[in-house]
Chain A
Amino acid sequence: MKAAFNNRNAWPWLLAALALFGIAFSIACFAVPFAPSSRAVEDPMLDAIFGGARGLLASALYQRADIFFHEGVPYYKKESFTNDVFRRISGSLNPRAHTHLSGLRVREIMPWLYFTLKADPHNVEAAGVTAFWLTSELDRPDLAEQVLQEAQEYNPRSHVIRQEKGRLYLNTGHIDRAEQEFDTGIRLALSAPQWTNDQFRIEMAEMLMFRGLLRETRGDVDRALADYAETLRLFPGRTNLHARADALSRGAKVEPASEMLKTLRDSRQHVCEREDNGHNHAGAHEARSHAGRGAHTDGGD
């Protein structure tokens, strides 16, 4: 045994080590095609480092984007006391006034959204928000289209991506493509098992409304009326839409669909989850800002 470990006798050990490497290599070559993960295709490095925690990482990064959008002000939490000496000093050192980024400064949230989507390409909400800002404040619809296209590759069954693409094409004047996207989005939403929940109904109604107006602008009033009827089935309380549908079916004059489409498209408003937290929008509120799925047009009325 002692002789086997003798330094002068190293060749057999070297050969054994090489043979073992060879065996390990062969096993690896044989085993890799059987690796079960489909996500590994997306980004093996991130999968290797974070595994299942990728979603958590993405969520933290997305939250960071929101904090950056609010210029560093963290989420508001109710506190039982706010006026002790530590809170006062801390409040003076790091102000908590509620402001929003606007204009080109919105670029600051882009890296966070970019990393969010890299960490979790299935986060359709982040993809939608990214596309919104790229289209609106940053005036880069080409990049927004790329983002949505990539998101669609990862989430082919998501109606939300189609809805965002529809909006994007509406903004860029590609009416036919917008209608196609809303069409596909509606079909995907209908085939989704959870389409009866509130958020789904809102998204569905918006897509139906957009598609109806697009059909109306093309003169296809009958099919537009079918879309309005479906919207009213989801939200029976929309009296203005009711009146419009009635007037259209009677052949009466109504506000041009193109105008309504424009109003609806531009009505996308920022719904800030921190409205009760001492707002100081500093001119940013007029910007059609967006922070999360809470921000949407509600599809009419």
Chain B
Amino acid sequence: MSRIFSIARIAWLELLRKKELYVLGIMMAGVLGALLSVKAYGLDGAAGHIKELGLLLAWALSWALAVNVTARQIPQEESSGTIFPLLAKPLTRAEFLLGKWLGCWTVVCAATTAFYLLAALVAALRGGKFNPSALAQGLILHFAALAVISALALFFSTRLHRDAAATLTFVATISARIFVPAIPNLCMYEFGWRRTGLLILYYALPHLELFDLRQRLVHGGAPAPGEAFILALLYGAALTAALLILAWLAYRNKRFSRGTML
């Protein structure tokens, strides 16, 4: 277990060293600050739009961070050759993958928490409040979504180059977020094999919309029912575990040739 944490720690240090997190934080603060300076028709008391855009930014930035940070981990180790001393140590490939995933996921979760706090702070400056319990639920479900996204990026990066893995993860996750919830509507107009195909996609692709509690948070809703919340978390955990197993299967027997990497 300590070996997994050691690998995770390296991912943390790398992200802190590269300063992406600070840049994203400054960018978000800048956008929200600009939004704060606009008072529509001089009317006070409207904070819904700040909450909405704050959470939207938190989602977009954490999504981008999760994909980029995770997709580069393995290809980076391979191209720099640091994978050889790592695997020469008493470290299994499963531990290596788990450590990488854990490091990326936790660092992105920490960044997401900072984004949420920033959004809540800016909304509070306009008199907008989040329900604290609902906000905690929203954040935890957001973490679950990031776990799935990170695991998918890690899976792609086991066999693909960094850019290809990141692009594929973006395409897969964004299209799943947009396309999957629309399938029940699309099925109204499709029949036969097309409808069957849509249904297969509906159950096979990740339902990332389950982790998105923004509507409840922005419109001041009470916390979500516990049962639905737990079910969504279990779904996220199962999906993440499945993707990590796939990543391990793809990576466990991968052969490295120093010459082709350099």
Contact = CB atoms under 8 A, between A and B. Distances in A.
Interface of A: 64, 68, 71-73, 77-82, 84-90, 92-95, 104, 107-108, 110-115, 134, 138, 140, 143, 146-147
B85 interface: no
A108 B202 CA distance: 35
Contacts of A88: 228
26 contacts: A68-B49, A68-B52, A72-B216, A72-B218, A72-B219, A73-B215, A80-B184, A81-B184, A85-B231, A89-B235, A90-B181, A92-B228, A93-B229, A93-B232, A95-B215, A107-B45, A110-B40, A110-B46, A111-B38, A111-B46, A111-B48, A111-B49, A114-B41, A115-B40, A138-B43, A143-B43
Contact of A93 (B45, B48, B210): B210
Interface in B75-104: none
A138 B218 CA distance: 21
B209 to A, nearest CB: 6
Contact of B184 (A82, A111, A112, A143): A82
Interface of B: 38, 40-49, 52, 141, 181-182, 184-185, 187-188, 202, 207, 209-210, 212-213, 215-216, 218-219, 221, 224-225, 227-229, 231-232, 235
Q: Which 6 A-B pairs have the closest CB atoms?
A: A92-B228, A114-B40, A79-B184, A80-B187, A72-B215, A108-B48
B185 A92 contact: no
Interface centre among A86, A104, A107, A134 (most CB of B within 10 A): A86
Contact of A90 (B52, B210, B219): B210
Contact of A89 (B38, B187, B232): B232
Contacts of B209: 90
A20 B212 CA distance: 53
A78 B42 CA distance: 39
Interface centre among B41, B44, B52 (most CB of A within 10 A): B41
B231 to A, nearest CB: 5
B185 A77 contact: yes
Contacts of B224: 92-93
A92 B225 contact: yes
Contacts of A111: 38, 40, 46, 48-49
Given A143-B41, A143-B42, A95 B216 contact: yes
Nearest to B46: A107
Contacts of A86: 202, 207, 210
A78 B185 contact: yes
B189 to A, nearest CB: 9
Nearest to B45: A107
B182 to A, nearest CB: 8
A92 B212 CA distance: 12
